[in-house]
Structure 1
Amino acid sequence: MRIDAHHHLWRLARGDYGWLTEKLAPIYRDFELSDLTPLLRTAHIDATILVQAAPTEAETHFLLDIADTADAVRGVVGWVDFDAADAVARIDALAVRKLLVGLRPMVQDISDDDWLLRPALASTFAAMVKHDLVFDALVLPRHLPRLLCVVDEHPGLQFVLDHCAKPRLAAREIADWKASIALLAQRPNIVCKVSGLVTEAAPDWQVVDLKEATDHVLAHFGPQRLLWGSDWPVVNLAGGYERWLAAAEQLLVRVSAEDKAAIFGDNAARIYLSHRGKRVA
């Protein structure tokens, strides 16, 4: 089974996508599951993980409602206000919905770079462990040393590093990122999504521009700890679903068939669906 481990759906009228403006013209419109379905069919993708794109619990319920009636969507990574006084109660309430498989605070948009290190977050991390929820880490390279501390402090929590932490491919400044990734990958409770790389590359990117970063995460995380994701429809800003999938398959052409199956589906099933969500048949 092939799984797209990272995509979004949104409706502009909801009004909670603060980052989504007319400046992002190719994706400044509604994106429904019906828009994605033909792409999944062409790519032979059997199932998906739907990921939040707005910092509201209302959007999380919106996504869960879609997942409830969509066979392709096997789980939802949602959002909770981790800073709320009743954050644990909020997690408990959301976890009643069995298709919730993880939570993702939008760390990249938080002004305090040390936010991840706040002691008050310990109880929310514990609540996630209690409910078998995955922590999707939407971070930038500068956050990786802080994330390393959190991963060490919470060995019972499963972490997923979104978009390889967005290495600065266009600027060709990835030395610090590579060092941080090498350290982070030594921790057994974190895996990495091979996603979002094309939107970090130059507008005229070629497959070779993605190779150093992809080879690096493959070398350090290994094929059993990598998950492929499209980041659709954001990927439409940099070539689209089919072009990114073709690039990923070319970048992983030397990986064995067994390991390729892991990256393109089996690992996502293990990480997200082994305890919660719709189990893979």
Structure 2
Amino acid sequence: MLRIDAHQHFWQLSRGDYEWLGPELEVLYRDYLPAQLQPLLAAAGVSKTVLVQAAESVEETEFMLRLADDSDFIAGVVGWVDMESGNAVDTLDRLARHSAFKGIRPMIQDIADTRWMLKPELEPVFTALIERGLTFDALVTPRHLEPLLILLRRYPDLKAVIDHGAKPEIATGRTTEWAGDIARIASETSACCKLSGLMTEAGDNPGFESLMPYMEHLLACFGAHRLMWGSDWPVLELAGNYPQWLAFAERFVAPLTEVQQQAIWAGNAERFYHLQV
């Protein structure tokens, strides 16, 4: 069965534009590059990946596109543009000349203004994404789900995917509002969702049982046809490791049909990002 990791990162500290990444993050505060991931992919039976931005700079997107040129397993790159810049659409068009470039991800979770995504100044970029068939990764937390629903209603043709299930507060158990909001987005929009990042939200080395209710809720809301598996490696290393999260996902999808499993493992990501696998 084909497997695609729909969400992973690389970084090189000497590049100097990872503002969120400091020594206090310990295990993450070092270079993570294709050579470290390749053996994990081989052991997991993962053929291709989608490489996602980790810095608010176009230079990092260009760095990722160069990595894609040199790494056969990188099937797509989700980058970044300054959506408030007057030349944002021109930058988008320049990046899109590279066949690996699939879309963008603003780091919404780090923006103080919860409703930033609704600013009218962003309209030209959202329109350009739709017209060019490019994707929008929504890096949001539960507090962003209400404005995200407004955004998705405003742009019903936007190809959007919610990263990490919108990061439910699994560790604290304060997830009732998240559960309702995520269900509403799933029922009222065409957005997809990534089955990723949940281990990190659950604390240090969580067990399968602590994650299962949230995985089940995402599956119930989005269905197997709108859910895509991703590792969120190496951020995953804060709470577990690649083989562990893979085993959890395997256990979770085991009761599903083969068609449903293939959709979650690869088919949905392949279709959403227009990957050549």
TM-score band, normalised by the shorter chain? over 0.9
Structure 1 residue 192: Cα displacement: 0.3
The one-letter code sitting in structure 2 at the alignment partner of 1:130 is: E
Rounded to whole Å, the distance in 2 between the matches of 1:92 and 1:161 is 23
Rounded to whole Å, the distance in 2 between the matches of 1:74 and 1:55 is 21
In structure 1, stretches of 5+ residues that fail to align are none
Could you list the structure 1 runs, at least 4 aligned residues long, displaced by more than 4 angstroms after superposition: none
**Aligned equivalent of 1:190:** 191
**Aligned equivalent of 1:155:** 156
Q: Deviations over 1:244-280 (max 9, x none)?
A: 111111122211121111101111000001xxxx512
- In structure 2, the residue corresponding to 1:214 is in which secondary structure? helix
The one-letter code sitting in structure 2 at the alignment partner of 1:177 is: W
Give yes or no for contact 2:205–2:240 (8 Å, CA) kept in 1.
no
Structure 1 residue 189: Cα displacement: 2.5
Mapping for residues 1-281 of structure 1, pairs under 5 Å: 1-273=2-274, 279-280=276-277
Rounded to whole Å, the distance in 2 between the matches of 1:201 and 1:251 is 16
The one-letter code sitting in structure 1 at the alignment partner of 2:15 is: R
- In structure 2, the residue corresponding to 1:155 is in which secondary structure? coil
Task: Using structure 2 for the length normalisation, give the TM-score.
Answer: 0.97
The one-letter code sitting in structure 2 at the alignment partner of 1:120 is: E
Give yes or no for contact 2:7–2:231 (8 Å, CA) kept in 1.
yes
The one-letter code sitting in structure 1 at the alignment partner of 2:221 is: H
- In structure 2, the residue corresponding to 1:61 is in which secondary structure? helix
Structure 1 residue 21: Cα displacement: 0.8
The one-letter code sitting in structure 2 at the alignment partner of 1:67 is: A
Rounded to whole Å, the distance in 1 between the matches of 2:98 and 2:187 is 33
Rounded to whole Å, the distance in 2 between the matches of 1:204 and 1:29 is 21
Rounded to whole Å, the distance in 1 between the matches of 2:242 and 2:176 is 28
Q: Deviations over 1:118-149 (max 9, x none)?
A: 01111100111122111000000000000001
Q: Deviations over 1:93-130 (max 9, x none)?
A: 21111211010000000111110110111110011112
The one-letter code sitting in structure 1 at the alignment partner of 2:210 is: D
Rounded to whole Å, the distance in 2 between the matches of 1:203 and 1:67 is 32
Which shows bigger deviation, 50-59 or 81-90?
Answer: 81-90
Rounded to whole Å, the distance in 2 between the matches of 1:14 and 1:68 is 19
Rounded to whole Å, the distance in 2 between the matches of 1:25 and 1:3 is 28
Rounded to whole Å, the distance in 2 between the matches of 1:130 and 1:72 is 28
Identity %: 46
Aligned residues: 276
